[in-house]
Structures are given as C-alpha cells and as structure tokens.
C-alpha cells in the first residue's frame, strides 16, 4: 500500500497499525545503518597496536587507517545526499549500504596496511552515501507528532556508536581479533539490505539537476582542509603540503559559498543560512563534535596509557558517558516535542562543557575512578540531551524537499568538526605535554580539555541563537517544514 493511499484512506484499525509498523521498521533500519557508519569513526583507535603488529607499517600509515575513513566520509556526504534526492533516497541508501558492507569485508581480509587504508577509504564512500539518507528516510516514515521520539532513539543509537567506538574496538581486539571490528558490519549489512528494499518507501528531493561544480568545490575544499588538519600534527603546521591544503581548501570553500549564492540549483543554497535555526544548529553541531571527538580521543588514551586500564576496562569505565544516550536521548526527544529543541540542545551543550571542565580539574597521574565519575555522568547527560533535538532542529529548519541537503550538510560539518577536534586538541596536547611519562601526559591533557570545554560552551551559545518554534514558523525557509517528506514518499 502506498503512503499516498495511507493518507487518504478512511480511519480504521488495520491501516494505522500498518503505518506504525512501517515507521518502526524505518526506525530500526535507519538506526542500525547509522550505528554502523558512526561506529567506524573511532572503532579503529584502540586496535592500532594489534594492526601494526600484524600488518606492519609506520605510525603515519596507521594514522591513515583512521583518517582515510574520516576524509572520504566528510567530503562526500553532501554529494551522497544530493544523489539520493535526485535518483531516489531508498535506491541510493541500498547502494551506499552495499558499498559499505563490501568494503568492511575487504578491510577485515586486508593482507597489508595499504590495502586496509584503501578499504577504509571505500568504507567512507559507502557511509557518505548511506548516512545522510537515514534521517530523510526516517522522516518520510514517521508521522510529525512522533518524530521527536523517533529522532531520540535514532540519536541515542548513533550517539552511542560514536562514543563507544573505542570500547567495541578494544573489546573485540582484546578478546577475539582486530579483524572483527570490520567483520561486525558484514552480517548487519547483509540483514539490512533485504529489509530496506522491502520495508522502506522511496522518496525524492527537488529533482533538480546535480550540481557538479558545487560538488567539486565543496569536496575539494573539505578535502584540502580536513587533510591538512589530519596531517598537521605529524608533518608540522608550516609544512608546504599542509599550508597548501589549508589555503587551497579555504579558497575552494569560498568559491563554494559564492556558487551557492548565485547558482540556480546549487547543492547547498546559501539562502538556507538566512534561517537562524539552520545556521545556529549547524554551528552548534560543528563545535560540539570538535570538543567531544578530541576529548574522547585523548581520554581513552589517558585511561589506558596513564591509569593502566586495558582497552576493555577503559571502555567500561567510560560507560557513564558513552552509554548515557541510550537512557536520556529518547527523553530528550520527548522534551523537544513538548518545549522545543532549542532549550534542550543548549542545556545539553552547557552540561557537556561543564563535564569537560570538571574533568580538567580532577585528572592526575593517579586519579581514582570515583573522582572522574561526576565528570563522566555530567558529560553523558549533556551529550544525550544534544543528539536527538539537534536532529529534529536540522530537519525542521528547512522545507521537506531540502531535508536531504540539510542532513548531508549537517553530517559533513559534524565530521569536519570531529577531524578538527582531534587535530587541534592533539596539537595542544603535544605542545604542553607528551607520552614521555604519566605526568607529561596529564600536563598535555589538561589544557586540551579546557579548550574542548570552551569550544562546546561556544556551541551552547550558538544554540541560543536558534529562534523559538513559534518565531521559526514565521520565517520563509522554515514555513514549509511541518509538511514533511511524506509528501514525496511513494513506493
């Protein structure tokens, strides 16, 4: 039964149940797919020593097993969303899921470090196509009144995947083999493919021609900047290649902004940023991921290298932070429906900032776990309050036909923020401390956490710029938001 039929049929018991069933299937499929893509951001970090032992390679080669995924993911996200809008979101979702699953198997069977890096890059391509379409497909399947809770569950699963990557990677590496951090995706992908084909409804965006110039400008600009941010700590910020990437990337992104302001059908219309809701939530997302990614990256090493925990033990002790989204994010989605997303997101960001600031005051070479626990809990609650309402704010800040564009842009900015956070906070860590001793590590970690806390606090301020729901409803960009992607959903 098509969704168009479902909307026009008389009220009864069978049809609403079928619609609820479709929404549940969409939530399951998109949440699991999002989990797979988000998990692979940090899942490799705790497995690097074992990978180096089995495959060899210099330290720079091992870094690329992380950054190859991040780079391709970040620079192709908006293009993946645009392809879905043009050729069908379900169709491209299946393509992205297939590429991601196949590349995961290739990574698990990689005979050398170079082939592993190549497989990770292809994984990023699949994730870039798949990830931004999860929200648009979910929006098309869920009635407007229930989207807050649906986004809450989706946000909980994705937030848990991002934060628990080191735990899952460390546990599999310690107890099975590092190959299984990639094999894990294969059965999940093979199970989702037929379910997505049968249970998701097809939908399209504006149907405009693909913006090839805009895609090249955005991809090239993001590649140059993210590449430089990843390579800066290793090669030096004044190295010719890093400086070239920064300057060229900035120039290309400036061209992308100019193109988006003047082109007839740009990939990312700059007029969207006239909406304070769209501009505010994207600024908040960029800054949130900058502070959070950099902090998790360093704190997972602190627990292992300084406090002496195994990868599994470190991950378990971070559960008050990383596991909190499973408990709080659905509640946050409900609250966003009741009081609006802005106060929930802002509260979450300020709590996350407070948690990181508190952590900076208690870390020591011999810090007890009990002294760290309040910081972990505060950070976990704050992160949880951010994820679900942020997704809701992104999708409601634009019209239904532009939700794919909005999702791709927001996810790209999150990935860029994550890469920026790891690079910036690692640079601060290296400038103030190092790996020479436990005290040296703490000396570098403390100022990095202070910077991370400050950046997330700025994200909270950016969230306060977002207008209330009543005021946002008067703006031209958001005025069509209540008419969701259901309008274009068909089988």
CATH number, span 15-210+267-486: 1.20.1250.20
* Spacing of C-alpha 176 from chain mean position: 27
Provide the angle, in degrees to the nearest 10, between the axes of the packed helices 59-87 and 113-141: 30
- Return all residues near 262 (Cβ < 8 A) that are at least 6 apart: none
CA distance linking residue 406 with residue 205, whole number of Å = 11
Mean pLDDT, the chain, rounded, equals: 80
- Shortest CA distance to 104 belongs to which of 55, 48, 43? 43
Tell whether the torsion through CA atoms of 181, 183, 186 and 191 is positive or negative: negative
CA distance linking residue 72 with residue 96, whole number of Å = 13
* Mean of pLDDT values over 18-29: 75
User: Element (H or E) spanning 13, and its range?
Assistant: none
Q: What is the model's pLDDT at position 163?
A: 65
The string of pLDDT tens digits covering residues 248-278 is: 999 999 999 899 888 877 877 888 788 788 8
Beta-bridge mates of residue 203: 489
The string of pLDDT tens digits covering residues 40-96 is: 877 877 777 678 778 876 545 666 777 788 778 877 877 787 788 788 889 999 999
* Spacing of C-alpha 460 from chain mean position: 18
Say if residues 243 and 265 touch (Cβ distance below 8 Å): no
Q: Where are the domains of the chain?
A: 15-210+267-486, 211-260
Tokens representing residue 92 in the block: 């491209």
CA distance linking residue 71 with residue 221, whole number of Å = 11
The string of pLDDT tens digits covering residues 283-318 is: 998 999 889 888 887 887 788 778 888 877 877 888
335-369 in b/e form (b: 16+ CB < 10 A) is bbbeebbbbbbbbbbbbbbbbbbbbbeebeeebee
Tokens representing residue 385 in the block: 């309050």
Residue with tokens 């709080």: 328
The string of pLDDT tens digits covering residues 418-475 is: 777 877 887 788 778 877 788 888 989 999 999 999 999 999 999 888 877 544 444 4
- Shortest CA distance to 40 belongs to which of 114, 119, 109, 113? 119
Q: What is the model's pLDDT at position 62?
A: 66
DSSP assigned state of 302: I
The three-class DSSP label of residue 211 is: coil
- Shortest CA distance to 391 belongs to which of 330, 350, 347, 452? 330
Would you place residue 409 in the very low, low, confident or very high pLDDT band (cuts 50, 70, 90)? confident
Q: What is the model's pLDDT at position 119?
A: 95
Would you place residue 483 in the very low, low, confident or very high pLDDT band (cuts 50, 70, 90)? very low
* Mean of pLDDT values over 320-345: 79
Say if residues 392 and 407 touch (Cβ distance below 8 Å): no
Tokens representing residue 131 in the block: 């990830």
Number of residues that make up the chain? 491
CA distance linking residue 26 with residue 177, whole number of Å = 32
Q: What is the DSSP string of 329-383?
A: HHHHHHHHHHH-HHHHHHHHHHHHHHHHHHHHHH--TT--HHHHHHHHHHHHHHH
Backbone angles phi, psi at 324, to 5 degrees: -60, -35
User: Based on the number of CB atoms within 10 Å of its own CB, is 175 exposed (0-12), middle (13-18) or buried (19 or more)?
Assistant: exposed
CA distance linking residue 110 with residue 112, whole number of Å = 6
CA distance linking residue 203 with residue 486, whole number of Å = 8
DSSP assigned state of 435: S
Inform me whether the pLDDT recorded for 478 exceeds 60.
Answer: no
* Spacing of C-alpha 88 from chain mean position: 22
Is the whole-model pTM more than 0.85? no
Say if residues 463 and 342 touch (Cβ distance below 8 Å): yes
Say if residues 259 and 218 touch (Cβ distance below 8 Å): no
Say if residues 442 and 372 touch (Cβ distance below 8 Å): no
């Amino acid at each position: 039964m098509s969704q168009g039929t479902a909307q026009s049929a008389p009220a009864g018991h069978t049809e609403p149940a079928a619609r609820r069933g479709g929404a549940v299937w969409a939530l399951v499929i998109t949440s699991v797919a999002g989990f797979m893509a988000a998990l692979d951001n940090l899942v490799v970090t705790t497995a690097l020593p074992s990978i180096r032992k089995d495959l060899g390679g210099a330290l720079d080669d091992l870094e690329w097993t992380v950054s190859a995924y991040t780079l391709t993911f970040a620079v192709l996200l908006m293009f993946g969303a645009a392809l879905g809008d043009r050729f069908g979101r379900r169709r491209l979702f299946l393509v992205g899921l297939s590429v991601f699953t196949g590349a995961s198997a290739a990574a698990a069977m990689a005979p050398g470090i170079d082939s592993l890096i190549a497989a990770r890059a292809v994984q990023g391509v699949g994730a870039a196509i798949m990830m931004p379409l999860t929200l648009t497909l979910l929006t098309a399947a869920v009635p407007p009144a229930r989207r807050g809770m649906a986004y809450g569950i989706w946000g909980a699963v994705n937030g848990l995947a991002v934060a628990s990557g080191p735990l899952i990677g460390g546990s599999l590496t310690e107890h099975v083999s590092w190959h299984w951090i990639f094999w894990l995706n294969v059965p999940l992908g093979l199970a989702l493919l037929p379910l997505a084909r049968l249970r998701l409804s097809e939908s399209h965006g504006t149907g405009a021609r693909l913006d090839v110039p805009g895609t090249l400008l955005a991809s090239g600009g993001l590649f140059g900047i993210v590449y430089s941010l990843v390579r800066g700590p290793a090669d030096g910020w004044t190295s010719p290649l890093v400086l070239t990437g920064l300057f060229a990337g900035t120039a290309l992104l400036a061209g992308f902004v100019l193109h988006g302001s003047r082109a007839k059908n740009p990939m990312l219309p700059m007029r969207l940023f006239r909406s304070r809701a769209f501009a505010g939530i994207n600024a908040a997302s960029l800054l949130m991921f900058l502070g959070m990614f950099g902090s998790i990256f360093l704190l997972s090493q602190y627990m292992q290298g300084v406090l002496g925990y195994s990868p599994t033990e470190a991950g378990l002790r971070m559960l008050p932070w990383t596991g909190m989204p499973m408990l709080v994010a659905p509640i946050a989605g409900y609250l966003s429906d009741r009081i609006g997303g802005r106060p929930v997101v802002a509260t979450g960001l300020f709590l996350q900032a407070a948690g990181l600031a508190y952590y900076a005051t208690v870390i020591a070479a011999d810090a007890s776990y009990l002294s760290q626990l309040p910081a972990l809990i505060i950070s976990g609650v704050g992160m949880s309050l951010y994820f679900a309402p942020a997704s809701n704010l992104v999708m409601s800040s634009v019209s239904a036909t532009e939700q794919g564009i909005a999702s791709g842009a927001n996810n790209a900015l999150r990935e860029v923020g994550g890469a920026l956070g790891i690079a910036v906070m690692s640079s601060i860590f290296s400038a103030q401390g190092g790996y020479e001793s436990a005290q040296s590590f703490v000396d570098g970690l403390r100022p990095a956490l202070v910077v991370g806390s400050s950046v997330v606090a700025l994200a909270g301020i950016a969230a306060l710029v977002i207008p209330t729901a009543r005021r946002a409803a008067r703006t031209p960009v958001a005025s069509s938001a209540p008419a969701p992607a259901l309008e274009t959903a068909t089988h």
